[in-house]
């Protein structure tokens, strides 16, 4: 299952996604197959990630990359098509398929922008909605957040724009350590997510992506950052 933290700042965005992909057996939530994967997909102007059924997400991304010509507004249509194909393959009324939704990013004049692609009802088409500035979106399978409630509250209260930091390294280290703590704690109570995660930072003219194994016992400090972005 997927645990995503997405932060929309005034001038930038941050997205973290865990690395455990889980395939649940229908009506047998205690039986599953799990393996490690990357859930953040690169496109020309940002990333696409999501929660739900991995086949639907991956096919949607493949269709978008091949046919959309970098038109992010078309992403809801490709998600709809991908879901319909999957339902043709395995039948309708599968919870993970029905509830698949996406987070995506792109550039805008004053920074980077996050969007949600989802539907509020099974009979309604997918819509794309811009996330408001200084807001945090959290998508998760296990609703028990008792262990991370204080950390999430502190993260929200401590939100700072990229422009308020003296360097890119300072900005990245500031958020990585707060987010790493949340993944470490939540993975102790949610066996369907990993403590490791991929993280993506985007401003108006650059982006950085990295993998955090999250096995450290003390604060992380990133010393050198490469902005060469390779699709994953």
Q: 193: closest CA among 126, 146, 140?
A: 140
State residue 103's pLDDT score. 98
For the stretch 143-152, pLDDT in tens is: 899 999 999 9
Q: 225: closest CA among 163, 162, 168, 164?
A: 168
Segment 74-87 shows an average pLDDT of 96
Q: 170: closest CA among 230, 220, 215, 206?
A: 220
Residues 145, 62: Cα–Cα separation, whole Å: 33
Residues 91, 110: Cα–Cα separation, whole Å: 44
Helices assigned H by DSSP within 68-116:
75-90, 95-98
State residue 70's pLDDT score. 78
For the stretch 83-103, pLDDT in tens is: 999 999 999 889 889 999 999
State residue 110's pLDDT score. 84
Q: Given this structure, which CATH class describes domain 4-212?
A: alpha beta
Full-prediction pTM beyond 0.95?
no
Contact 24, 32 (CB under 8 A): yes
Structure tokens at 135: 């807001």
Residues 186, 93: Cα–Cα separation, whole Å: 29
Residues near 17 by beta carbon (within 8 Å), at least 6 away in sequence: 2, 3, 4, 38, 39, 40, 49, 197, 198
pLDDT cut 70: percent of the chain above it: 90
For the stretch 116-166, pLDDT in tens is: 999 988 778 999 999 999 999 999 988 899 999 999 999 999 999 999 999
């Amino acid at each position: 299952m997927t645990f995503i933290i997405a932060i929309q700042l005034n001038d930038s965005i941050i997205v973290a996604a865990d690395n455990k992909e889980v395939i649940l057996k229908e009506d047998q939530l205690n039986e599953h197959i799990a393996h490690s994967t990357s859930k953040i997909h690169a496109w020309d102007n940002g990333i696409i990630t999501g929660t739900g059924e991995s086949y639907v997400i991956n096919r949607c991304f493949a269709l978008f990359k091949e046919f959309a010509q970098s038109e992010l507004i078309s992403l809801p249509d490709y998600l709809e098509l991908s879901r319909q194909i999957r339902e043709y393959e395995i039948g309708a009324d599968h919870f993970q398929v029905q509830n698949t939704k996406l987070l995506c990013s792109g550039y805008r004049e004053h920074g980077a922008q996050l969007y949600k692609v989802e539907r509020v009802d099974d009979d309604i088409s997918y819509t794309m909605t811009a996330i408001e500035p200084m807001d945090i979106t959290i998508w998760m399978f296990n609703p028990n957040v008792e262990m991370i409630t204080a950390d999430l509250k502190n993260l929200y209260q401590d939100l700072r724009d990229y422009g308020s930091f003296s360097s890119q390294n300072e900005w990245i280290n500031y958020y990585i350590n707060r987010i790493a703590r949340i993944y470490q704690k939540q993975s102790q109570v949610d066996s369907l997510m990993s403590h490791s995660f991929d993280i993506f930072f985007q401003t108006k003219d650059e982006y950085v992506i990295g993998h955090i194994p999250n096995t450290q016992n003390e604060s992380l400090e990133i010393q050198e950052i490469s902005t060469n972005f390779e699709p994953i």
